[in-house]
Structure formats: structure tokens, C-alpha cells
Amino acid sequence: MIVVLSLLAACGSNKGSDASSSPSESGAASQSAAPSESGSASPADDKPITFTFFDKNVGDAFNNPVAQEITKRTGVSLEIQQPTGNPSEKLNLMLASNDLPDLMSIGRGDILDKYIAAGALLPLNDLIDQYGPHIKEMYGDMLNKTRSADGKNYYLANWYGLEQYPIFGFLMRMNVLEELGAGDKINNGQPFTQQEFVDLLKKYQEKYPTVNGKKAYPFTFNGENIGAVKGTFKGMYGMMPYYENNGQLQSEVKDPKFIEMIKFMNSLYTQGFIDPEWATNKTQQYEQKLSSGAIFATADAFWNVGNPNTALKQAAADQAKKDAAQFYPYKVVADGADASKLTYGPKSSLGWDGIGISKSNKDPARAIRFLDFLASEEGQYLMMWGIEGVHWDMKDGKHVPRQEVFDGFDKDWAGYSTKTGIRKWTWAVKNGPGTDGTPYDLIGRYRQDPVSSLAIKNLADTSFDTAPYDNLGPSGGTPEAIMQQKVTEIGDKYFPRMVMAPSEADAVKLYDKMLQEMETAGLSKLEKIYTDNYAKRMELWK
């Protein structure tokens, strides 16, 4: 009887598992590991198991070649869940109904905080200590920064780690820059001064009043992406997410640089340099205008003009010089700004989403071992590069991609990713290069097109970490959250009005009125929350 009961107990503790892989292969702890606070310890095993996984970004079936290889190496299959509607609504519904999948990928912010506060996600600290050597190695101090107020980790970030990579910039057509006499700066990494930039806009306006019978403008923006417009001009002045004033965090609108930025933008508008329809431009209209050849410059993330650049290359009279027809990102330095402290590249080292193990998971130890594999270099290259010997080869100690992979992505990015599984899922992905110097993100970083290459050359040094300032506002569902929404709406309402005011004096009056309305809506109370939350975060990160 004692022998039988012992065997049954062993079977119960090893449900869905065997001891076929070593700790060095899978990141598992020894079979004698003690149970953690998050679930019973499991021996190192690769017996087939299936987890349900909610991914807010991708709902494809986990059955492509990369997925099959992940299952082969870990024994884990996934049933991917992703709604056809709004992922946030589905996440809130699952939390309210307590109907949770085994694993979850949730955007960092209010909803993730709700899940943690409700106890819907398991603390990972003990599990990582026992089963996560690759997680410890790859994440390092990032685990300290993603802790909650109780000192515990509830998720693993993806796209984590600070990367010197540009985002916003003043995008100008290279061939037009040459026509306007700026050929010496088109490819040498040197910034334009504010006055040099204004002179270029003026020269374009004078030289091209019309293009193909249509009114031409030196400048236009995407009215559906005001964040990119603001981000570009704020970068020019070196503005940060908050204005730090005597130890207090205040709204960016109180930064003295903000009103200077508004005055500059207003001067561009009143001189007729900016397309008067910019604020109502939808993305499709915006892209059509850029593609027409009647626009010289815009303010945007450099990857947002891919469609117009393709059209401009196709329409180039001299196909041997088609690349020069594109919009390229350049740095412009505001008067009085420090060129070495510009902020065109806001990036959070804490990443975009958080991957957690839900309280419904029956084998959290196996789940963390699965995540440990994904977080490892082996897992990173598998997810982001594909399968060795099929999609890439190891030569002289370096990962070398096969040309057919680039050809496949060039022909049909979405289709090829779905077919192969390369870059389909970006769970626990780390920014930057692996130990051999090749980037984990093959398609986004290994091979640079001319626009990306110049963006790095011109603007990579403007990257800065926004992590200390991320999500410092009030918690969702609180009265203060309503205040925040109101203040944001006021800012969104006044921004285009200030830019398009008839004069600088009118722009300043609108700015003063905006501040008054924000204060009435509770801005000072919100600023106290920003400051308190920032202080708590800095204390937590010590």
C-alpha cells in the first residue's frame, strides 16, 4: 500500500511531465526543488502539454514551422486566443468573469495593473529563482524595474531594454534638399539649425508654388497622429515627458520650451509654410499628399512614410536615383537648444506588453520553464529568425540569414510571417544584439534600408529612456482618472488652434486660456500624483 500510494503521489506531482531534459537545456531546476508560493514545483520535463494563451496582438493558430519547432523543443503547445474586436474589452470581460487562460500578453498600463491588483496573475519571483536562469540572465536589472509596489514580479516585458534607435524626425525629400542647396548635409549626419530649416521651407515655397497644377506646401502633417507631430517638435527642443520644476513633476505644457515650440510652429503656419488642412488630414489623405510630390517635408516617425516613399520611388524620372526621391529623417536643433540633448527618440526600456501566468494555470512551473526558453538566446533567434538550416545558418560563430527570408518579407511581409512563423510572436523579445553581435530582430534591425540607415546616423543619439515616466498618472476608474482624461482632451483641443492662430499674440492668448481650463479641470492635483508616483518608483528601483 505504501509503495502504491507513493507511486500515485509521484504521478500526481508529475502530471504531464517526465525528466527528459536537463536544467542546462531547458532552464529547469532540479527535481528536488521545493514548491514555490506560486505553485508546486515540477521536475524538469518535456511531456506534451497545452496551454491557453491570450495574445492581445496576434490570434494566429500556433501551428506554423516556428511554432512547431518551439513545441518540439519544449513539449508545449498553445491554443492562442485573441478577440476580433477590442482586446481591452475582452481583457476586462475575462477579469470580471474570472475566465482566464493559462498565459496572457497584456499591454503595460491600467489593464495590466488591474489584473495584478485583482490577484489574477501569479507572482513570478520564486518560479524564476527555481526555473528561470535564462530569464535572470537576459532581463538582469529589468526584473527590478518591472516589480510592483509589493516588490514582486507579475509579468515579463517584451521589447525590453534601452536601444539607441531613432523614432521621430523632420522628414525631407533628399533630391529636393539637393535642389535647394543643402547637398552637403543630405548624408553626413550633421543637424540643421532652426534658421537653416526655415530657409529651406522658404526656398521650396518660392520655387514650387504648384506641382502638377496643384498647390504645393513645404510642410504637412498627419492629423490622425498628432502625437508624432508633437513628438518631433518636442524633440527639436529637447523636451521631456514631464517638466521637472523644483523637485516636482509638472505637465509638459508648463515647460517654458512648450510655448516657444508653439510660437515657432505658429510662425511656420502664418508664413504659409504649413498645409492649412493638416489638422483634418486623415492618414490616407496624408499619404496621398506626400506621394503627390507636392510636399517637401513632414514631422513623423520615419517608418510611417513607407507607402509614400514607395510611390515616390516608382514615380522617379531617373530610376537609377529613385532612392533619393524618398523622405529621409533629419535632426533640426531649436535656437538655444543643446544639440547633444535632443529628444527625438523616446523609448521605454520596459517594453510594450507584459506576459504573465494566470492564477488558473495548473502547472505554473512548466509555464515559467516555457517562458524561460522563449527568453533565452535560443528562443529569441527561433522566434525572430526562424529555424537553423532552413531560414538561417551559423557561419564562423555568427547567425547568417538566408536571402530567401528577406525576399519573402519584401514580397509579402504579413503573408511570409504567417507562413513561416518568423516574427509572428514577439514574446519576451529583447532589444539589441545577441552575444555574436547580430540583432535579435532580424527584419527590423539586421538589414537596413537607406531611410533607416540615415535615421540611425542622424538621430540615434537622441534616444532616451522614458521608463521612469511611464504610467505615472492616476489609476483607471478613479475620479482623478476622469480629471486626466479631461485635461488631455483640453490639450488636444487647443494644440491645433494654437498652431493655426492668426498671430503669435493670439497663439499666446489661447495658450493662457488652455492653462486656465486645465487648472480648473484639476491639473495641479494630477501633478501631485505624477510627483508622488515618480518618487515611489525611484524608491522601488533602488
Report whether 356 contacts 103 (CB < 8 A).
Answer: yes
- Taking the model in full, what pTM does it have? 0.81
Q: In angstroms, what CA-CA distances link 426 with 26, 360, 384?
A: 19, 23, 7
Looking at residue 45, its pLDDT comes to 66
Give the chain's residues under pLDDT 70.
1-45, 83
The count of other CB atoms within 10 Å of the CB of residue 63 is 12
Same fold, 49-162+349-446 and 168-343: yes
Looking at residue 20, its pLDDT comes to 32
Looking at residue 42, its pLDDT comes to 43
Place of cell 509579402: 412
Fold classification of 168-343 is D-Maltodextrin-Binding Protein; domain 2 (3.40.190)
Looking at residue 248, its pLDDT comes to 97
Cα angle vertex 189, ends 184, 193, to 5°? 75
DSSP secondary-structure letter at 83?
A: -
- What stretches of 108-256 adopt beta strand conformation (E)? 156-157, 168-173, 192-193, 210-211, 214-215, 217-220, 243-245, 248-250
Looking at residue 44, its pLDDT comes to 53
The count of other CB atoms within 10 Å of the CB of residue 512 is 11
User: 10, 28, 12: which is closest to 365 by C-alpha?
Assistant: 28
Alpha-carbon dihedral 372, 374, 376, 381, rounded to 10 degrees: 170
Choices 3.40.190.10, 3.30.43.10, 3.30.365.10, 3.30.565.10: CATH for 49-162+349-446: 3.40.190.10
First to last CA, the chain: 54
Report whether 125 contacts 152 (CB < 8 A).
Answer: yes
Q: What are the sequence ranges of the domains in the chain?
A: 49-162+349-446, 168-343, 472-541
